[in-house]
Amino acid sequence: MNWDDARIFLAFARAGSLGLAAKRLGVQHSTVSRRIHALEKMLATPLVERSASGYVLTEAGEDLSASAARIEKEFLFFEATSAGQSESVAGDIHVTAIANMASTLLMPMFAQFRAANPSINLRIDVTNDSVRLSQREADVALRQTNAPGDTLIGTRLATVASTIYGSVDYCASVRAGEAEETWVGVDCCDYHRTWTREACADTDTSFCVDDTCLTAAALKEGMGLGYLPCFLGDNDPALVRFREPERKHELGLWFLYHRDLRNTKRVTLFREHMVREVGRLAGIFDGSAPSEHLAEKGL
C-alpha cells in the first residue's frame, strides 16, 4: 500500500470532509477524492459511505484509519528524534495563532525571526479552533488559555487582559445618561461569548459578530459596548474602556508544542525568540502599559 494514499485517507477520516482534509493537506479537493477511490479500488472494499449527515467510515475505513494513525505516530516520532540529533536548524515550523494577535503584535516578531534565521521556513495559520499538535496539524500553537493540555509542553509568554470598550462619543453619552447601554453580541471565542452573556444577560444583543476585528469596527460605529482584548482596544484612538479590566477576564498566552519536539533546535530557537519578544510587550498584552492613544483621549 502507498503510504501517501493512507496519509491522505487519515486526514480525511479526521476532518470528516473532503474540503477540510484538502485544506489541511494543501492539495485540491479532487485529489483527496481521487486517492480515496484509488484506495477502495486497490483494497476491493468501500472505505467511506455517504449518509444524510455527511460521510461515514465503513468498518474497513475505521480499521485503516487506526492503522494509518499508528504508522503516522512512528513516522512523526522518528522525524522529531532525528531532528533533535541534528546540529542544523534548517527546516519548517508550522505555527497556528489567533488572527487578531498574529496580524498585529506578533507579525513583527515573525518577521524578525525570519530575518535572523533565513534557513527556517515559517508557515502561519490563523484559527480560534484547537489543533491536534500530537497529530502534527501544527508544530507550535500560540494560544490564549488558562488550562493548556497535559500532553503538551508549554511556556507562558504573557497575560492577556480583556475588558469592555465602546466608541469615545458613545461611552460619554452613556455615562452622561444621554444614551441607553446596548451591547454588540460577540461570538469570536468561548471566552468573549461567555463574558458578554454574563455582562448583559437582560439586554437584547440584536447585532452579533464572530470576529474581534468586526467587534472593533461595530464599536467604532457607535453600535454599543463589547469585549475586546486590551492590546486591540487600547491602541485604537476611536475606542475607550467602558470599564477597567478584571482579573477574572485574564488569559495566559502560551507557546505550546508536542513533547516529541522538545529537542528540535529550530523549535527551541523560535520559542526563545517569542519568549524574549513577547516579554518586551508584556504591558500591552496585560493592559497595564499606558497607550499613546489613551493620552490622546485625555484618560
Q: Do domains 86-160+250-285 and 162-249 have the same CATH topology?
A: yes
> Which CATH architecture fits 86-160+250-285?
3-Layer(aba) Sandwich (3.40)
With CA atoms as reference, report the closest residue to 279 among 108, 159, 103.
159
pLDDT band at 291 (very low <50, low <70, confident <90, very high): low
Q: 106: which 3 cell numbers?
A: 506578533
The arithmetic mean of pLDDT across residues 231-251, rounded, is 93
Least confident of 52-56, 148-152, 198-202, 249-253: 148-152
Please report the sign of the dihedral spanned by the C-alpha atoms of residue 178, residue 181, residue 187, residue 189: positive
Mean pLDDT of the chain: 86
The number of residues in the chain equals 299
Residue 297: is its pLDDT beyond 60? no
Distances (CA, A) of 133 to 63, 138, 214, 266, 289: 22, 6, 29, 16, 33
Q: What is the pLDDT of residue 73?
A: 77
pLDDT digits (tens, 9 = 90+) for 47-87: 999 887 788 999 999 999 999 888 877 777 776 666 555 66
Q: What is the pLDDT of residue 134?
A: 56
Domain boundaries, the chain: 3-84, 86-160+250-285, 162-249
Distances (CA, A) of 9 to 57, 75, 138, 148: 10, 16, 18, 29
Residue 150: is its pLDDT beyond 70? no
Share of the chain above pLDDT 90, in %: 48
pLDDT digits (tens, 9 = 90+) for 77-133: 776 666 555 666 788 898 989 888 999 999 999 999 999 999 999 999 887 655 565
The arithmetic mean of pLDDT across residues 235-243, rounded, is 94
Residue 242: exposed, middle, or buried by beta-carbon count in 10 A (0-12, 13-18, 19+)?
buried
pLDDT band at 153 (very low <50, low <70, confident <90, very high): confident
Residue with cell 499613546: 292
CATH superfamily label, 162-249? Periplasmic binding protein-like II (3.40.190.10)
Out of 3.40.50.720, 1.10.10.10, 3.40.50.150, 1.10.1060.10, select the CATH number for domain 3-84.
Answer: 1.10.10.10
DSSP 71-124: HHHHHHHHHHHHHHH-S---EEEEEEE-HHHHTTTHHHHHHHHHHH-TTEEEEE
The arithmetic mean of pLDDT across residues 191-202, rounded, is 82
Q: What is the pLDDT of residue 204?
A: 64
pLDDT digits (tens, 9 = 90+) for 1-56: 788 888 899 889 988 888 888 887 888 989 999 999 999 999 999 999 988 778 89
Residues in contact with 3: Cβ distance below 8 Å, sequence separation at least 6, in sequence order: 71
Helices (H), the chain: 3-15, 18-25, 29-43, 59-85, 99-102, 106-116, 168-175, 190-199, 212-220, 230-233, 265-280, 282-285, 292-296
Cβ proximity of 240 and 168 under 8 Å: yes
Residue 296: is its pLDDT beyond 70? no
Residue 231: is its pLDDT beyond 90? yes
Residue 203: is its pLDDT beyond 90? no
The arithmetic mean of pLDDT across residues 185-195, rounded, is 82
Cα–Cα distance for residue pair 213/104, rounded to 1 Å:
11
Cβ proximity of 235 and 290 under 8 Å: no
Cα–Cα distance for residue pair 283/112, rounded to 1 Å:
20
